[in-house]
Amino acid sequence: MGIDGQSQRVPVVDPGRVVIGSLVLPLSEVVVTDLLAVFRADGLLGLDALQHFRVTLEFDTRYLVLRPL
């Protein structure tokens, strides 16, 4: 569902894994869309990726810290 309330078709790809710095996330589905049209972000991580980590939001430094469980 788009921000305008309309359904949209978006491509889904299987990257096998996503690497962020020294973290390697095994992912089987990734949605490809233009986030900059809606958010000021390079990407979004879903619960399928975040479930493998202890997640800390450091508001003062604006960091998202991921620590393996």
Beta strand extents in 14-62 (DSSP E only): 16-20, 23-27, 30-31, 53-58
DSSP reduced 3-state for 12 = strand
Q: Domain span at residue 26?
A: 12-68
Mean pLDDT by runs of 10 across the 69 residues of the chain is 70 85 80 74 78 91 88
Q: Residue 63 has which token pair?
A: 């960091």
Evaluate whether residue 6 is within a structural domain: no
Please report whether residue 38 resides in a domain. Answer: yes
> Residue 10 phi/psi, 5° resolution?
-135, 150
Q: What is the pTM of this model?
A: 0.55
Q: Where are the alpha helices (DSSP H) in 4-57?
A: 47-50
Q: What pLDDT is attached to residue 59?
A: 95
Query: Is 4 within a domain?
Result: no
Helix, strand, or coil (residue 13): strand
Q: Does residue 7 lie in a domain region?
A: no
Find the helix or strand (DSSP H, E) in which 67 lies: strand 63-68
Q: Is residue 1 part of a domain?
A: no
Read off the pLDDT of residues 29-40 as tens digits, 9 standing for 90 and up. Answer: 888 777 776 777
Domain tally for the chain? 1
